[in-house]
Amino acid sequence: MKVPLQDLKAGYQSVRSEILQSVTEVMDSQQYILGPKVAELEATVASYCGVGHGIGVSSGTDALLLALMALDVGHGDEVITTPFTFFATAGSIVRVGANPVFVDINPDTFNLNAGKIEAAISPKTKAIMPVHLYGQIAEMERIMNIAHRHKLHVIEDAAQAIGARRNGNPAGSFGHAACFSFYPTKNLGGAGDGGMVVTNDQALAERLKQLRNHGEESRYQHRTVGMNGRMDGIQAAVLLAKFKHLDDWNSRRIENAHYYTPRLKNIAGVVPPSELPNSTHIYHQYVIRCRQRDRLRQFLTDRGIGSGIYYPLPLHLQACFANLGYHAGDFPAAETATQEVLALPIYPELTREQQDMVIDAITDFHRTESKISPNCSHCNPRGSGA
């Protein structure tokens, strides 16, 4: 691969000694579960998000699960969310016994279409779970307004959006609770699984701390059943060392995006991602649309360029959710997105030369394709007008 989709080794090399030093402190202390490093990471991330509390947990998925449990979302309840996201968003809802109720996305941002939420609210609705997909925050002011009017909880799935802002407010500061993932390929990634719930609600924070530790209130006293959802000290050590570089890495992703976008937008049939005004998109993924997505992807692979499809199947059409009764055609914007999206390399260490190789390859793809069909009908994604 000349231009891989991701390069975790390059990221690691730049902070290797800081990480090893921090991990060594945990090894020397022999405090592997929770402990001072986890507490320090919790305070660091909470303050970064402008909220009072952080609860370090075992993964982003467990963060979602624990947030739902702490807000008493359970059997028979409904949670409104997007069908165009990573599986865990809806998976966590089902795991607590509730039903996901899907609402279509806005085709420009790929995020939940806030204008369609109210029509999906029923007497069983307990919460809304918007996702800040690819690193751009969903329409949170509107979503919080709807939630207040209907007395619903809001859990931000901010797994892809640590450091993103909207109207000056950071991801994680909008909802009653927000969930982050520190999966190794996320913008802030650990050396294994890890996650965090952040909240401004002190009572909710206490409940979350109990639930991640089997619901234990005081030693061996349990009034509710929780789970083992604790964060490891070694993960916190790695994340604390990497956190110091997060803003710099996010800036480099943004600069890379701003190099791609003006160069790709003139290629017919390619629609680069759109950034909303007053929004800092932190480009966890840089995702273009192309009608001939699969052919373009093969073309890039042949040139040694990595790419990814997030996500190829909308959640309402997953076999495990067949009992929910959804059908193809229910959410056209999400379904079209699954056929057109393609993520290009965007990681912080990507060089301009590598980006030029990607841009040249896409330009050449278009040239080759327009020879096959001169009117460019090969590649006519939504919004391009081509």
Ligand X SMILES: *Cc1c(COP(=O)(O)O)cnc(C)c1O
Contact flag: residue 160 with ligand X (CB under 6 A): yes
Single out the residue of 11, 60, 189, 314 in contact with ligand X (rule: CB under 6 A).
Answer: 60
Q: Which is nearer to ligand X, 138 or 270 (CB)?
A: 138
Contact flag: residue 232 with ligand X (CB under 6 A): no
Q: Which is nearer to ligand X, 60 or 175 (CB)?
A: 60
Contact flag: residue 6 with ligand X (CB under 6 A): no
Asked if residue 232 lies in contact with residue 37, where contact means CB atoms within 8 angstroms, the answer is no
Residues 278-307 that bind ligand X (CB under 6 A): none
Contact flag: residue 331 with ligand X (CB under 6 A): no
108 exposed, middle or buried (CB, 10 Å; 0-12, 13-18, 19+)? middle
x/- track of binding to ligand X for residues 93-132 (CB under 6 A): --------------------------------------x-
Contact flag: residue 235 with ligand X (CB under 6 A): no
Single out the residue of 41, 88, 98, 129 in contact with ligand X (rule: CB under 6 A).
Answer: 88
Single out the residue of 7, 104, 156, 157 in contact with ligand X (rule: CB under 6 A).
Answer: 157
Residues 176-205 that bind ligand X (CB under 6 A): 181, 183, 193, 195
Nearest-CA neighbor of 61 among 225, 235, 197, 189?
197
Q: What is the C-alpha to C-alpha distance for residues 300 and 313, in angstroms, rounded to an integer? A: 22
Contact flag: residue 86 with ligand X (CB under 6 A): yes
Least distance (Å) from ligand X to the CB of residue 78?
19
Distance of CA 100 to the CA centre of its chain: 18
Q: What is the C-alpha to C-alpha distance for residues 296 and 299, in angstroms, rounded to an integer? A: 5
Asked if residue 194 lies in contact with residue 239, where contact means CB atoms within 8 angstroms, the answer is yes
Asked if residue 152 lies in contact with residue 171, where contact means CB atoms within 8 angstroms, the answer is no
Contact flag: residue 138 with ligand X (CB under 6 A): no
Q: Which residues contact 347 (CB under 8 A, 6 or more apart)?
A: 6, 7, 10, 11, 253, 256
Helices (H), the chain: 8-13, 16-29, 36-48, 60-70, 87-95, 140-150, 202-211, 233-243, 246-264, 293-302, 332-340, 352-372
Q: Which is nearer to ligand X, 128 or 296 (CB)?
A: 128
Q: Which residues bind ligand X (CB under 6 A)?
A: 59-61, 85-86, 88-89, 131, 157, 159-160, 181, 183, 193, 195
